């Protein structure tokens, strides 16, 4: 059995790590390079850095910051935000990123997934999906959660896999920042829909939520932000807790 991964996520705006609730009410959480290096030392398996306003502001992702991160962080990391063409990915990988995540641009132009998978390999391409539960559907949103689309979570995830995405990063907008637990039922369904690894995001508030997301939600990795940024859960304590609850994690 593959070990489960713990992934701190650093949402970056104007060069600073920020965190909000339901994609709103952002507050400062510190320097992204220093935080990333700290998490690497504490036992994080991977990191995700998202330039959360890049698409909305129609600019490129932070290549210079990626170089700084690569110089300080000793573990694999993924970056995203504002990626639209092959050259964007090429620039980020050259700067030191291990993987990239695409979201709004893939919804607008699904063939971008195929292009990037062919050029760089599926292992480099993470399809990020921000979705909100609306009635009986999980509707995909773009532009940092600001724009609702007609795409539905499960069919879009399946299409993304078929087009070449190597992982699915699903963020429940309903759960984001609430600390009430992950979207377990949606994750269960998602795990039946795709065969690539699933990264669960949105809702982590206590260590038991991570046990739930792995044992009940069938996630391959769990991503969280504020509980790490504001010292509510330490990575060493979390990994020890998961082992005690029979969840296999890396040292």
**DSSP assignment of 222-250:** EEESHHHHTTSS-HHHHHHHHHHTT--B-
Q: Is the pLDDT of residue 46 over 50?
A: yes
| pLDDT score for 31 | 82
Q: Beta partners for 137? A: 134
| pLDDT score for 216 | 97
How far apart, in whole angstroms, are the C-alpha atoms of residue 141 and residue 170? 11
Catalytic residue among 45, 88, 130, 212: 130
- The verdict on domain 5-244 having CATH code 3.20.20.70 is yes
**Is 130 part of the annotated catalytic residue set?**
yes
How far does CA 234 lie from the centroid of its chain? 19
Which sign does the torsion angle of CA 155, 110, 132, 235 carry? positive
As a dihedral over the C-alpha atoms of residue 24, residue 108, residue 80, residue 209, rounded to 10 degrees, the angle is 50
| Domain boundaries of the chain, sorted by first residue | 5-244
Token pair in block for residue 241? 């807790």
pTM above 0.75, yes or no: yes
For the segment 146-164, what is each residue's pLDDT rounded down to a tens digit?
A: 899 999 999 999 999 999 9
Q: Beta partners for 172? A: 131
For the segment 207-218, what is each residue's pLDDT rounded down to a tens digit?
A: 999 999 999 999
Q: Is the pLDDT of residue 242 over 70?
A: yes
């Amino acid at each position: 059995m593959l070990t489960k991964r713990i992934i701190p996520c650093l949402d970056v705006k104007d060069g600073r790590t920020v965190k909000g609730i339901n994609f709103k009410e952002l507050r400062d959480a510190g320097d992204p390079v220093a935080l990333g290096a700290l998490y690497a030392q504490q036992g994080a398996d991977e990191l995700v850095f998202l330039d959360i306003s890049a698409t909305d502001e129609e600019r490129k992702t932070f290549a210079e910051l990626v170089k700084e991160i690569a110089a300080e962080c000793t573990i694999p990391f993924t970056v995203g935000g504002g990626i639209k063409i092959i050259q964007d990915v090429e620039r980020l990988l050259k700067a030191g990123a291990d993987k990239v995540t695409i979201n709004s641009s893939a919804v607008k132009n699904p063939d971008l997934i195929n292009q990037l998978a062919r050029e760089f390999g599926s292992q480099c391409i993470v399809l990020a999906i921000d979705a909100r539960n609306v009635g009986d559907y999980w509707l995909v949103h773009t532009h940092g959660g600001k724009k609702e689309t007609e795409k539905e979570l499960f069919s879009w995830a399946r299409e993304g896999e078929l087009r070449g995405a190597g992982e699915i990063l699903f963020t429940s907008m309903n759960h984001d920042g609430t600390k009430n637990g992950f979207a377990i039922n949606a994750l269960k369904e998602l795990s039946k829909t795709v065969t690539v690894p699933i990264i669960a995001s949105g809702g982590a508030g206590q260590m038991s939520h991570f046990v739930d997301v792995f044992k009940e939600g069938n996630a391959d990795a769990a991503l969280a932000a504020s509980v790490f940024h504001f010292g509510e859960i330490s990575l060493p304590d979390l990994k020890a807790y998961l082992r005690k609850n029979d969840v296999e994690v890396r040292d």
